[in-house]
Amino acid sequence: MTETLPIERSLKTLNQLQSQFNLQRSTDDQFFTEWLNTDSELTEKEQQVLDAIKQKYFYQLSDGQLGEETIKLIVLSPLLDLAGFFNPPFRFKTETTVQISVESDDVTYRGRIDALVIQEKLWVVVIESKETSFSLELALPQTLAYMLASPNQEQPVFGMVTNGGNFIFIKLLTQDFPQYELSDIFSLLPRRNQLYNVCQILKYLGRIVSC
C-alpha cells in the first residue's frame, strides 16, 4: 500500500531530496547561465516602476515583517506585470496540488504549493519576509520538491523564490538524473536597485518558457 506524505513536512532539507530522488547540485559552470543574461534594456518608465516597487516595499517593511499576500501585492504582481507575464501566451496556475512518487519505497509526496506556475516551466514561490536572505535557503528544498513534480520533464524548469526583499533563481534538469543550480541572490538593500536585474532575468526566462 502506497504511503502518502506531505511535502512541506517530509522534504525539508536538500539531503532528503538527494536521498529520495538523487537530486544533486550541478558542478558545471555552464549549467545555469540564463540568469547571467541581463542585456534586456529597461526603459526609463520601467526603471521608475521598479524604483517605486522598492520604495513601497521598504515603506511597508518599516512596520515589521511582511506576509506573503502583502509581498505578492506590492512586489511580485507589479514585477511580473512589468516583465510581461500577464500577457499572452502566459498562463498561471495558483494553489496547485502536486505530487511526486518514489516507486522503490512505495511512497508518494504530496503538497499544495502557494505559488504561481507559469506555462509549467517557471515556478514563482513567495515566502514571508525576514531580516536576512536566510529564509530563502530554508525555502529551497520545498521549492525544488515542487519543481521535481513538474510535468515538463524533457526541458529545463526554472524557479524564483522571493521574500520581497531578496530574490534567487533556480534551474532544474531531470534528464539522466535531477540536477539543479542557483543564481546569485539579488537584494533590495544596495543603493542600486537590483530589481532591474531581476526584471531583466524574468524577461529573458519569459522568452525561453514561452517557446
Q: For residues 188 and 131, is the Cβ–Cβ distance under 8 A?
A: no
Q: What is the pLDDT of residue 140?
A: 87
Task: Please state, in angstroms and rounded to a whole number, the distance separating the CA atoms of residues 199 and 137.
Answer: 21
Q: What is the pLDDT of residue 40?
A: 77
Q: What is the pLDDT of residue 9?
A: 58
Take residue 36 and report the three cell numbers written for it.
547571467
Residues of the chain with pLDDT under 70: 1-11, 94-115, 117, 128, 130-134
Q: What is the pLDDT of residue 56?
A: 95
Residue 117: partners with Cβ closer than 8 Å, 6 or more residues away:
92, 93, 94, 96, 123, 124
Note the pLDDT tens digit of each residue in 9-67.
Answer: 566 788 888 888 889 999 999 999 999 987 778 999 999 999 999 999 999 988 888 88
Q: What is the pLDDT of residue 72?
A: 87
Q: Which domains are delineated in the chain?
A: 3-209 (3.90.1570)
Q: What is the pLDDT of residue 31?
A: 96
Q: What is the pLDDT of residue 165?
A: 93
Which sign, positive or negative, has the C-alpha torsion 82, 88, 93, 98?
A: negative
